[in-house]
Structure 1
Amino acid sequence: MLTPLIDIIFLLCLFFVLNTSFRQESYIEVNLPESKTSEDTPTMGIILTLYENGSVSINGEEIGWDSVESVLEDEAEKQAGQEIIIQGDENIDYGKIIATLDKVRRAGFELISLQTIRNER
């Protein structure tokens, strides 16, 4: 009488274990701009973050602005065909975003996303 209950509990546990995502989310330390048409896409790829104070990080590791292109070239060799996600603070100068996009393209990336926050209003 207890065996069917144990079987059901085992199957439920197995279901939840197999459907749980163990991906570690990176917490955004920038104020991303809002967009009504923003899509919820997983943050899988190389994350390039542009902070309001002018500093830059790639996958959480802070680097200098002058070395962005060379670090991205190394990442492009390691992870060919990978998407790069740019997280830019909403207060960054537009010219800095364009310069960053230029460096990303010169490093060899073709899949580029600009991350925003969905505004439901």
Structure 2
Amino acid sequence: MTERKAGDVLSDGALDALFAEARFAEPDLPDGLTARILEDAQMVQAERLAAEARPPEPVRRASLWQRFVRGIGGAPALAGLGVATMAGLWLGVMPPAFVTSGVSAITGTTTSYSPYMVDSTSAFDFIVDETSSTGG
């Protein structure tokens, strides 16, 4: 029999020749079986040709946000970064006593921290003071 590679498409004449060769090699093959095999082969070829004629699906580019999330490791990594950010913010705003006492021991100061302490001076006040003292 003729050697064939997967994916080869044969013309009708080539298929007929192939089946004639198969009938000659196996004369006991019933005629109905050969006809069904031929119909199946033609159907598979038609499907392959239709698939090749279809235009390829458009490639969708990922947005900047999707590429960022994929780059850091996906949704679990993003959730971990969010939790670490919130924990750092909470410790910065309301530090526990052991953190403030440790800072006081290292720096040698006894400053107490209050979340309600607000500096009422703005950066522009220092600029005004500086220009008035230089006479400008």
What TM-score results when the alignment is normalised by the length of structure 2? 0.20
**Structure ranking higher in helix proportion:** 2
Bigger radius of gyration, 1 or 2? 2
Report which structure shows greater RCO (CA 8 Å, sep ≥6).
Answer: 1
What TM-score results when the alignment is normalised by the length of structure 1? 0.21
